[in-house]
Every structure is written in C-alpha cells, then in structure tokens.
Amino acid sequence: MADESKIDDPATRQEAAAEVIKEAKEAPPTAQVDDEDEDEAEDTVATGSPASGAAAKKKKSKRKRIKNALTGGSSGSSEASGSSQSDISKLMNGLSKDQLTELVKMNPGLAQQLGVGTGGDLTMTKEATAAMKKMSLEEIMSGLASSGKNVKDMGQYKFWATQPVPKFGESSEKIVEGPFKIIEPEQVPKDPGPLVDGFEWVTMDLLQDGELEEVFQLLSGHYVEDDEAMFRFNYSKSFLKWALLSPGWTKDWHVGVRASASRKLVAFISAIPVALRVRKKVLKASEVNFLCIHKKLRAKRLAPVLIKEITRRCYRLGTWQAIYTGGVVLPKPVSTCRYFHRSIDWQKLYEVGFSPLPPNSKPQYQVRKYALPDHTATKNLRAMEEKDIDGVLELLKSYLARFEMAPIFTRDEVEHWLLYKKDSTDEQVIWSYVVEDPATNKITDFFSFYCLESSVINNSAHKLVRAAYLFYYATTACPSLTPSSTRTDLSKRLNELVNDALILAKKYKFDVFNALTLLDNNLFLEQQKFGAGDGQLHYYLYNYNANPIAGGVNARNQIDESGSGIGVVML
C-alpha cells in the first residue's frame, strides 16, 4: 500500500525545533522530548471535557509536530525507533546548526548518542556524518539503528514477535537467504480461526457491484490517513477492481469481517498472487494490501486475526511467502524508500495544506516554478496500445533484471497492469506511454502512472487531491541494455521521459505527481522539481529472510546517488 505523505515542510520543522529547544530549557536535563507514554497521558486528559479535550488535542498535535521535527517523519517510524541513530540523522537534517548546538547543550544524552561534547560550537557535524556513513545498510534501510538503545523492544510487538519475519536486534551479518519455515500443507487449518462474538468471516465477491461498493465505502471512510489527519486515500471502485482482480486473483483472498446483526462490513484484507524475484530466487508469493479496520473497532487486536486468516488462505493455496508495504515500522523492513512529490497545481496544494509556502517566497513564484509546457517533447511518444504489449513486456523484463527485488511479469500482467482499454466502462486508472522506433518498430522506452485520489478532510474549498503515482517504466538507454549507454545517458533519457509524464499528468488534471526513491527515480527527482515528502514506505517480506536492499535514501533520509535495489512498485 502507499503511505499518505505530503511535502516535508522545513519551515515547520524549524519552528518546531525552536519549540523543542524551549521545552528542553524548561525540562530537567534528562527529559526525553516526547514518547508514547506522554501521548497516552494526554489521551486520558482529552477525555475530560470537550474544551479540555480540544486543548489537549492541540497540545498533542504540537507535541507531535515536535516529534516529527525530531524524527523527520511519520509517527509510525518514530513510535518504534524512539531517538535512534537514524532519527538523529533526520534531526540533524531538520535543524539549523545553532538550534542543534543549543539542543545538544540541553540534552547530554543526545550529545552522547551523537558522539560529541555538550559545550560550544557543533564542530561535530563531520564526525557525526562519518559515523552515519558507517551505519550498515540494514540500519539505514529500516530507519532504525538495530542495536541502538531506543529501539522498541521486540517483546512489544506481541503479534509480530510470533511470526516468521526477521527481528530487530538480530545480528546484521549477511545471511543465507531463504524461508524462515517450511510448512507442510496438512499442517494448514482447513477453517478460519474464531472471531469475537458478534462478528463473522466473509469472502467478498468483487464482481458484484454491491460488494465492491461495500469495500469501497469501508476504505474511503477508514483507510490510511496522514499523520495530521488532513488527507485520506480514496481508492476508487475502478482502482479496486484493477488492484484486486489482477491475473491469477482468487475470491478467497478478498477477506472481510461483518457484524453479524447489521451485516455491516467492518474489516477487510486482501492478497493477489505475484512471482517475486528476490535477488536470484523467484518466489511464488502474494502481495497483501488494503488491510483496514473500521475506526470504532481499532486497538482490539483484530489486525493480527485478519493477518492470520489471509496467511491461512495463502498457505491453503500453496503460497508460502508474501510482500507487503506500510508507513508503520514493523519487524523488520527489508527496505525503506522515501516519498517525493512534484507539484502540478501548486496553488491548490497550498490551499489544502499539502505544500508549504517556503520562507522568502511568494505564491506566484511557486506557481511559476512548477509551470509546465502544454505539449510533450519526446519524439515518437504515444499512448500504449494492445499491439505494444509484447514489446513492453520484453523491455520491462530486461530493465527490471537490474534491481535486487522485482516482479517477474507475464504477458497477461503487462496487459492488465499497463494497458488502459478505451472501451472499458470503468474510469481510467492507468496511463501508459511508449516510444516506438519508426525504423525498427521496437519499443525503446515506456512509462506509466496511476491515479489515486485522496479525500481532503475538513476543507470547505477542496474535497479531493488528484495524485498521479509513477508506476513502472523502462528504457533501452541504460548501460545493461545498451552497452554504449552511460549512467549519464540514462539520467538524461529518464529526465526527458518523466518531464513528459508531468506534462501529461497536467493535461489529465492531476494536482501532484508522486514517486518514491526506488527504481532509477533518484536520477530525475531533483531535476524534475520533486520535493521530499514526510512519508516513508517500508517494504516487508513474510516468511523469507533476505539481506537488506537499498531503498534509495541514505542515513540522512536524503536521496542516495548510488540508487535503489527496489524494482517493485506497490499500490
């Protein structure tokens, strides 16, 4: 799944940093800036009266902003990492040198973690940078220092500690990759586990419009929101059909929970099959997505029950591994990517609170900065057609072979995932374009993006943000496909293609264009004016122990020039 992310706002982080310093001055020297206990204490206060509740909420959100300033991101990652080394690198990234100096003076514990003295000027930046460079890929990718004292204890992951997934704190030595456990088919229970009284398992039939509508309604009211609850993903019904009825799909993997009396759908989880290559091995795996529980049923340990049920159903069909993504830190990511956002309609993004106005700028400067031409520039670029399926498949297969983890697409999957059929009654979800060489009729390049809208919560002027997400692309202009091609050639070509993708996204009325630090995206993100987001996406494998894979960000959570090993784009 995607994670709700918006443009990271350095000004807000600077402002929050100032608050951190103010609070640090007022607090005893050993006080930690914020932690879950404090949040919980505030929750209790918030139940007092509506007025005190609002005040407490405001305070909580202020604290959260401070926490975000320190951790540089989602509460999910900070929840698990406390003030780990990786948080510190984000902190350094977010604060000015003066602020950092002052903060370190106020917090000797932090100084110790940074490996610097508490007095005077922060001439430690170089040393701290060097220390960060020494961090293992594992530490960087998981966004956690696995041996750091602030890592959430594995014992606190009551459910995940029992599952065949890697654990935090385990040795970061290179391991021989493979399944955690081999399950005999006869060991797999034939029936679902029990649910609490009043609820029952259902298998959703998404070919029935009524049932599709129910899943849509559940997700549109209760699915992923950003940390400040400003936006919530709004996967359309066409999108859900595209995402969940892909080649090889089975109804059995569309699992719901209904309230027995009202028949209301209150929870959902899904899986689709995927042939996933992790380095040299190809796994017959499932992609688990759209885990969602009605807001009123949260924190009742229903999620582990749903996860166990989808696992049982995958096992029953001989699928022993899975891939899933999320914005929350769980044991233990195989990779971590960062979101980047390219404004298309800057004015609207500003009005809904997605994009900040940078200090010393004016709205009209921002609008001008993100202006795009009306027409694409790449020669022989056109919308993908049915006749292109084989050419795209061949190109994509060779291109994805360069990444450490990538799907192995079939012809049917290329058709399903990439080709928009004009005669379809569904609204368009996927936009794909190819470049055909007129001399050879070969497909030399292609790119695609999909549409995922987000509801804007509590905004009277705008109800939706229409976002394009960069999906798969490939080009022959890369060294492994064309030996005479250099990395500079690849970068140049990708910049041309992505610039055209932006122009097309503007033509189709998208407000923003999102991409992660995966594939070769790092070669164009900055040049194409993508701004760093406040969201991360962690990649996880179930029942498969793999060495970490670079996610395109370094220890400072900034673009890593050496690129990413991730070649899987999840919805």
Q: What is the binding site for ligand MYA (CB under 6 A)?
A: 1, 157-160, 222-224, 286, 288-293, 298-304, 307, 310-311, 314, 319-322, 324, 326, 328, 330, 542-543
Q: Which is nearer to ligand MYA, 314 or 550 (CB)?
A: 314
**Residue 257 near residue 201, CB atoms below 8 Å:** yes
- Work out how close the CB of 241 gets to ligand MYA at its nearest, in angstroms, rounded to a whole number: 17
CB of 89 to ligand MYA, least distance (A): 24
Nearer to ligand MYA, 233 or 449 (CB): 233
What token pair was written down for 443? 């497909």
Q: Which residues contact 249 (CB under 8 A, 6 or more apart)?
A: 272, 273
The per-residue b/e assignment along 277-300, b for 16 or more CB within 10 angstroms, e otherwise, is bbeeeebebbbbbbbbbbeebeee
Pairing of strands 231-234, 464-475: unpaired
Nearest to 81 by CA among 98, 68, 96, 100: 68
Q: How far is the CB of 220 from ligand MYA (least distance, A)?
A: 12
User: Is the Cβ of residue 223 or residue 346 nearer to ligand MYA in the bound state?
Assistant: 223
Please say which residue, 292 or 549, places its beta carbon nearer to ligand MYA: 292
Minimal distance, residue 188 CB to ligand MYA, in Å: 11
Residue 150 C-beta: closest distance to ligand MYA, Å: 17
Coil, helix or strand for 570? coil
> Given the complex with ligand MYA, which of 160 and 249 has the nearer CB atom?
160
Q: How many CA atoms lie within 13 A of 114 on its CB side?
A: 27
Select from 217, 181, 98, 268 the least CA-distant residue to 545: 181
Closest CA to 396 of 429, 432, 437, 423: 432
Q: What positions carry a catalytic annotation?
A: 571
Q: How far is the CB of 254 from ligand MYA (least distance, A)?
A: 13
Question: What token pair was written down for 143?
Answer: 């966004």
The whole-angstrom separation of Cα 66 and Cα 68 is 5
Judged by beta carbon, residue 191 or residue 386, the one nearer ligand MYA is 191
- Residue 528 and residue 516 in contact, taking contact as beta carbons nearer than 8 Å: no
